[in-house]
Structures are given as C-alpha cells and as structure tokens.
Structure 1
Amino acid sequence: MISFLARRFIASIVVLLVASYLVYVLTCYSGDPLQDLEQTKLPNKQFLIDQRIAFLHLDVPPALRYFIWFGGILQGFVGNFSLGLTNGGQQVTAQLGTAVVSTLQLLSAATVIAIVVGLTIGIATALRQYTAFDYATTFVSFLFYSLPSFWLAVMLKQYLAIGFNNFLQDPVISPIVIAAIAVAMGIVWLGILGGSLRRRLTIFLISGAATAAVLLYLSATRWFDDPSLGIGVVGVLAIGLAVLVTALTAGLENRRALYSALTTAAIGIALYYPLQYVFPYASFGLIALLAFAAIGVGLLVGWLWGGFDRDVSMRGAAITAVLVGIVIAIDRFMRVWRIYTTSSYINNRPIATIGSGTPNLQGDFWVTGLDTFTHLALPTLAFTLASLAAYSRYTRASMLDVMNQDYIRTARSKGLNERTVVMRHAFRNALIPIVTIITLDFGALIGGAIVTEKVFGIQGMGALFQNALTVVDVNTVMGVFLVTGISAIVFNVIADVVYSSLDPRIRVSS
C-alpha cells in the first residue's frame, strides 16, 4: 500500500509540475497584465506600471519567470511559502483562502445532496426498470440536466426567491394550490411505491389527503410566520428515522438493531429540552463536539444491545443519532426564523438572490447560520438539479449490470431477503464505477462553478479564476490551478483506496 501510494504521489507530482509550467507560460502569452494601467489617465501612470513590472517580474521572459514563481512554493520548506502577488499587489494566498471557503460552502452541500439523492433515484429506477416511475424520473432528471445553468438559476430566483418572499407577506395557501400540491404528491408516492391498481389508488388517496391536511394546518395556523417543529414532531421524526435506518442497514427482522436505533432515538427525544439551555451558547466547536458525542452514544447503545451482529447495531444506532441530532438542530434554526426575518437587514424577505451573506448582520450562531443557509439555498439547489441526472443514470446503469450477475441470482436462491440482496450484494459492487465519478467530482469541486457563482454573485474559486483570466493575473490563475490540481490528485488516490475496500479482488500494492 505504502509503495503504491508513493509511486502514485511521485508520478502525480511530475505531471503537476509539467502541467503547471505549460499553464503558466500559456497564461503569460494570453494577454497583457499592464493593459488596465496603460489605459488609465492617472498622473502617476508610469510609476504604477514600473511598480507592477517590478513585483510581478514582467521584465523576465515567461519561460524563466515560472521558476521565480515556483521558487516561492519551495520557500515553504523554510516557512516563507508564497504563490506570488496579484496584479493589485495582494497576496494570492489570502484571496485563495477566502475563495476556497465560499466555494466549499456553496458546492460541498450541493454535491453531497446530489450524490445521495442521485444514488437513491438510481437504485429505485433500476429496481423498477421500464415502469412509469422509471420513465418519469429519467425525463425529469435529463430535463434539469439539459437546461442551461444560468437560465435555471434565473428561474429559481424569480419563482422560488421572489415568489416565496412575496408569499411570506401573507402566508396563506389557497385551496387551489393545496389541491395541486396534494395531487402532485399523490402521483409521486404512487410512482415510488407502485404495486397493483388497488394499492396505487390507496397510496394516491392517503398521500394526497395527508399532504392536503398538513398544508391546511400550516395555512390556518400561519406556521410560516414563526415556524418550529416542537418535541412532538421531533419525536415522530426520530422514531421514523430509527425504523428507516434499521430497515436499510440491518432489516427490521434484526430486533436488536431496531431496539438500538429506537433507544438512541429515545435518548435524543429525552435530551430535546436540556439541549435548549445549551444552544444559546452554541458555536461551531460546540456543535462539532455534540455531533461526536451523539456518534459515541449511538455506538455505545449499539454495543450494549449487541446481538449476533453487533457492528450492524452500532452502525445503525450511530447513524440514527446523527440524523436525530440534525432534526433537533433544524428545529433550533426554525426557532430563530422570526428574529431573523424581522431584522432591519432582512425586512421580511429572507431568501436572498445574491451574495453569500448579509453585510453587517449581527447575531448568534443560529442567526448567522440561518443567514448563510438563505443565501446558499438557491445556488445549492441550482447546482444540485444540474448534476443530479449524472449520478442517477450512472447508478441505474451500474445497478442493472450487477443485478443480472450470477451471484445475485445465487443470493436470492439461498433465501436472502431483497434488502440484503440489494444493499449488501448488489449496491456494494455497483459502487465501484460510481466511486470514480464521485471522487473526480469532489476533486474538481474546489475549482468552483463559474456560471452559478456569477449569477448569484458569490466570490468563489470559479469567479476568482474567471476574473484572473480576464485581467491576465497569472499568479492568481496559477494559485487556482495548483489548488485544483492537488485536490484532483488526492481524490484520485482516495478512489484507488476505496476500490480495494469495496472489492477485495482489487489490491493497491506492488
């Protein structure tokens, strides 16, 4: 393993060095970094030009100037790491730090959501191949995939941001809208669950009626003015999540795993009110500490319940603990919704259409976190919808290929239930080609999304790279290239390691 990783590292470094040299030289010849100063009418124009020539070493040929830039990287071994200066004289590393944070905030959540939802849709459509659900899902996925990203972003601004903000002025849902949403949800659940005609009709009626009842309640109580879940809804969701996690990870017939998850959910419900006294002092560090504590409690509960497969109980209980913790955190964010929306900086229009935060907004961890969410909701949704189709279609194709293998038929003939066949045998092997796509996407994630960042006015890596190319800011271009290249190398190595863990026949060794 170590020798393999060492060889991959050395080969990747050589490729990165050659590529960086080519990119540097080509960028230098792509335009004139002095053009903005040459067109200015400032009285000290010549001084500014001479100054930029000096600190950017523009009097040195590009083929040799690269080694001056590379020398700043090598100085990192003695504590003076530098990627050079921008055309404006600022440190490139400072700009990269700000841009990387903005990009990770924007794209990491979108990518994770797209992967989880895409894998789920892919598995569901593979198991129900050539059904109406399969065709409808394929159509919707490719519809969003084929739409221009800038147009999709503008539509989300118009109908989700502006429309929802207008709705919040008088949050009463009309009967026509309630009926339309109820019918739509009935069709969705009908397609997902399927079955005989009688079963489908029952599902349609129950899901439609439940949706209509919830919407009527939300409208009558003006829930959107001051939303919250409360301990009742948190409790129902916690129990439901415990059952769902057990069904997916162990099967409901594994009673010890089910009891482990339910016990963990009960502990989360019992801690609901005590946590309300802790949340006013919340910070990122405290939330991270609580998350690790939740995982520890889940693992301990799973271990205590034990059973013939203790690891399964521990895993299910830990996942349940994290999910219940997320539900409780969401409830807390909802509790500061009214404080946030009535702020003079927000003025009852919380869903933002530009930027990554509200300037000068003051508040605690929950208010600032809610502000970040409202600013990133639309760009996250736009990026998720655009990338969802690829994950779902690759998963579907890989699952169909695996489900037709002999060992799947053997597993079924041995009497294993469908959940075990699908999740433990089929999905694990279907993940091998999908891992390649996921790791490559994560490697490219830090490079940003130029169009999405441009439409929503977010200064991430994509916007930084585009602006640097426009003004021929070579050092900034190289900074973005270096960060993106290193992340691609790291995630390629991670992909190789994951291959070996998914399939024992694959070995990453000499």
Structure 2
Amino acid sequence: MLAYALRRFLISVPILIASTFVVFLMASLSGNPLNQLMAKNPPPPPHTIELERQRLHLDQPLLERYWNWLTGIFRGDFGPSVQSTMDIGSEVTSAYLVTLRLIAAAMLIALILAVIVGVVSAVKQYSGIDYTFTFTGFLFLAMPSFWFAILLKEAGISFNNAVGDQVLYTIGDSSVYVSGGAWAQLADTLGHMVLPTISLALISFAAWSRFQRGSMLEVLNSDYVRLARAKGLPRGRVMRRHALRTALIPLATVTALDLGSIISGAVVTETVFQWRGAGHFLLQAIQRDDVYAITAWLLFSATIIIVLNLVADLLYGVLDPRIRYA
C-alpha cells in the first residue's frame, strides 16, 4: 500500500506541474493587468506604467515569467499582485480556509444522504419510496445551483421576518462582532453555514444518490451476495459486510471526480450568500485581471482535486479487500 501511494503521488506531481503551466498560460493571455491603471483619468505618465509593468514582470517572456513564478512558490512567493499591498499567498490561504469548511460540511452531508437514499432505493426497488427518492433526485439535479441558493436565501429572510428574530443567517460567513467567547463564535460560524451548506449539499447529493443506487443494485444481484444469503447469513450483515462496502467504490470515484464541480458550485453559493471565501477572491482577481492571483487560486484548486483523487484510489483497498496494490 505504501509503495502504491508513493507511486501515485509521484505521478500526481507532473500532472500538477502541467496543470499549472496551462493555467498560467490561459490566465496570462486572458487580459492585461495594466488595463485599470491605463484607464485612469487623468492617465498616469508612461514612466509610471513602465514601472508597474516591470513590477508585475510583464517585461519578461512568458516562459521566463512562468519559471520564476513556479520556483517562487517553493519560497512562499506567489508573485506580485495588481494590488501592491496584497500578499497573494496569505490571502488565498485565508480565503480557502473559509471555503473548505463549507465544502467539507456539504460533502459530508451529501455523502451520508446519498448512501442512505441509494441503499434504500436499491433495496426497495420500484416501490413508492424508490419512486419518491428518484423524483427528488432528478428535481435537485435539474435545479441550477445559483437559483436554488437564491431560493434558500429568500426563504431564510422570510423565516426571519416571520419569527421576528435573526435565526437563519443569509449574509456573510461570520458576524463582524460576536461576544461570549469561543463557543459563541463557533455557534455564529455554524449558523452562517446552515443555508449555504444545505444549498451545496443537496445539489451534490442528487447525482451521488443515483450512482449509489445503481451500484447497490449491481452488487445485490452478484453471485457472492446470493451465496451469502443462501448460507443463511443475517440480512443486515450481508448488506453491511458484503454489499455496501463494494457498492461504495463507484461512489468514492464519482465523489473525487466531482470535486471540481463542487468547488465551482461553492464559488456560486458564496457569491449568493456574500461569503468572503475563495469564490470572492477569484471574482475579485478576475475583475482586476490579476494573473498571479488567478493562477494561485487555480493552483490551490488543482492541488485539492489531485490529493482527494489520490485518497479515493487508496480507499479502494479499504472498501474491497479483493483489490490488491501490487
């Protein structure tokens, strides 16, 4: 297992480097970071524009800029921002810490719901429960993430107005000032996470529950499960020990592959609920044509996706002992 994990990690490194080059190339060619400076009225003198061009390394060839940026990452330098006072490394890290708590909570809830709904639908195939779960899953699949987030936000506002108190938080990832110590701050943070987490979790759960249902049906009809039943093993043990563990393998794969969609969904959800997380950081960087900030954001995203795909590969051997890593 250790050798397999090491090989997978070594394979992931060139993939990550290749993705950084593609991202840096696309971000560099997508806009001119000096546009906002040159659009000022009155226009700045040419000497000022040239100094800014040198500070942003725009006077260097593209490949040289990429190499300097890539080697600078190992020193904690993610490149100069259009905003001269901003440290890209610390800003993108802080933004992602806000977003990762939303993604982690949403994925956990979505996975639990997907497994429960998928297993029940498979066991109760073509029953009223199965049709109800199927309809619900397709309903959430058809909903655009931004529209569902807006509906939840409006519902939260209406609920607060109805009860005459701030029960559901609809703006921001935390309150500006919270009194009462660490527990009060934790409660405030969790309160702000309720609606965005529900929005992101239900959209993700819909697709995963369908995968889990199909996988569970395939496993239930396999020979070794029928043999376990014929040997007289308890139904619950057959479901947990023999069927469910194997049926979770496709779900682990789909979850890892869908992580990019979850991050993009988190960007939309954060925008609706006005969180100052990774989504806000990315949108601000795009508006400023801040090449190094955009590239840093995409680098963090690519790293998270590659790491979780590696974790999914390692989970195969845990979920199904028949899988061996030679």
TM-score tier (shorter):
over 0.9
What is the match of residue 161 of structure 2? Answer: 166
Q: What's the CA shift for 1:165?
A: 0.8
1:122 aligns with 2:118: yes
In the alignment, the residues of structure 2 paired with residue 56 and residue 105 of structure 1 have an alpha-carbon distance, to the nearest angstrom, of: 32
In the alignment, the residues of structure 2 paired with residue 442 and residue 147 of structure 1 have an alpha-carbon distance, to the nearest angstrom, of: 18
Q: What's the CA shift for 1:129?
A: 0.4
Aligned residue runs from structure 1 range 56-135, under 5 A:
56-73=56-73, 76=74, 80-89=75-84, 90-135=86-131
Q: What's the CA shift for 1:436?
A: 0.8
Q: Percent of aligned pairs with the same residue?
A: 38
Asked whether the 8 Å contact 1:448–1:461 carries over to 2, the reply is no
1:485 aligns with 2:302: yes
Asked whether the 8 Å contact 2:121–2:130 carries over to 1, the reply is yes
In the alignment, the residues of structure 2 paired with residue 47 and residue 454 of structure 1 have an alpha-carbon distance, to the nearest angstrom, of: 38
Asked whether the 8 Å contact 1:123–1:399 carries over to 2, the reply is yes
Which amino acid counterpart does residue 83 of structure 1 have in structure 2?
F
Aligned residue runs from structure 1 range 140-219, under 5 A:
140-159=136-155, 161-169=156-164
Task: Give me the TM-score of the superposition, normalised by structure 2.
Answer: 0.93
What is the match of residue 227 of structure 2? Answer: 410
Alpha-carbon distance change, 465 to 125 in structure 1, aligned in 2, over 3 angstroms: same
Alpha-carbon distance change, 375 to 63 in structure 1, aligned in 2, over 3 angstroms: same
Between 438-447 and 88-97, report the one with greater CA deviation. 438-447
The C-alpha deviation readout for 1:166-223, integer Å capped at 9, x for no partner, is: 2323xxxxxxxxxxxxxxxxxxxxxxxxxxxxxxxxxxxxxxxxxxxxxxxxxxxxxx
Secondary structure class of the residue paired with 1:409: helix
What is the match of residue 345 of structure 1? Answer: none
In the alignment, the residues of structure 1 paired with residue 253 and residue 220 of structure 2 have an alpha-carbon distance, to the nearest angstrom, of: 20
Which amino acid counterpart does residue 424 of structure 1 have in structure 2?
R
Asked whether the 8 Å contact 1:444–1:487 carries over to 2, the reply is no
Q: What's the CA shift for 1:47?
A: 5.9
The C-alpha deviation readout for 1:57-78, integer Å capped at 9, x for no partner, is: 01112222111111202xx3xx
Secondary structure class of the residue paired with 1:87: coil
Alpha-carbon distance change, 447 to 372 in structure 1, aligned in 2, over 3 angstroms: same
What is the match of residue 253 of structure 2? Answer: 436
Unaligned runs of 5+ in 1: 170-347
Asked whether the 8 Å contact 2:38–2:44 carries over to 1, the reply is no
1:22 aligns with 2:17: no
In the alignment, the residues of structure 2 paired with residue 2 and residue 351 of structure 1 have an alpha-carbon distance, to the nearest angstrom, of: 46
Decide which of 205, 208, 221 is 1:388's aligned counterpart.
Answer: 205
Secondary structure class of the residue paired with 1:41: coil
Q: What's the CA shift for 1:466?
A: 3.0
1:465 aligns with 2:315: no
Alpha-carbon distance change, 416 to 351 in structure 1, aligned in 2, over 3 angstroms: same
In the alignment, the residues of structure 2 paired with residue 402 and residue 63 of structure 1 have an alpha-carbon distance, to the nearest angstrom, of: 51
Q: What's the CA shift for 1:445?
A: 5.3
Secondary structure class of the residue paired with 2:30: coil
Which amino acid counterpart does residue 35 of structure 2 have in structure 1?
Q
What is the match of residue 266 of structure 2? Answer: 449
What is the match of residue 36 of structure 1? Answer: 36
Which amino acid counterpart does residue 180 of structure 2 have in structure 1?
G
Q: What's the CA shift for 1:107?
A: 1.7
Alpha-carbon distance change, 385 to 399 in structure 1, aligned in 2, over 3 angstroms: same
Secondary structure class of the residue paired with 1:29: helix
Which amino acid counterpart does residue 71 of structure 2 have in structure 1?
G
In the alignment, the residues of structure 1 paired with residue 264 and residue 64 of structure 2 have an alpha-carbon distance, to the nearest angstrom, of: 27
Which amino acid counterpart does residue 252 of structure 2 have in structure 1?
V
What is the match of residue 373 of structure 1? Answer: 190
Q: What's the CA shift for 1:494?
A: 1.5
Secondary structure class of the residue paired with 1:412: helix
Task: Give me the TM-score of the superposition, normalised by structure 1.
Answer: 0.60
Q: What's the CA shift for 1:8?
A: 2.3
Alpha-carbon distance change, 504 to 411 in structure 1, aligned in 2, over 3 angstroms: same
Which amino acid counterpart does residue 312 of structure 2 have in structure 1?
A
Alpha-carbon distance change, 99 to 445 in structure 1, aligned in 2, over 3 angstroms: farther
Q: Larger relative contact order (C-alpha < 8 A, sep ≥ 6)?
A: 2
Alpha-carbon distance change, 167 to 377 in structure 1, aligned in 2, over 3 angstroms: same
Cα-Cα RMSD: 2.0
Between 51-60 and 4-13, report the one with greater CA deviation. 4-13
Unaligned runs of 5+ in 2: none
Q: What's the CA shift for 1:487?
A: 1.8
What is the match of residue 332 of structure 1? Answer: none
Which amino acid counterpart does residue 167 of structure 2 have in structure 1?
P
The C-alpha deviation readout for 1:254-279, integer Å capped at 9, x for no partner, is: xxxxxxxxxxxxxxxxxxxxxxxxxx
In the alignment, the residues of structure 1 paired with residue 45 and residue 257 of structure 2 have an alpha-carbon distance, to the nearest angstrom, of: 46
What is the match of residue 55 of structure 2? Answer: 55
Q: What's the CA shift for 1:45?
A: 5.8
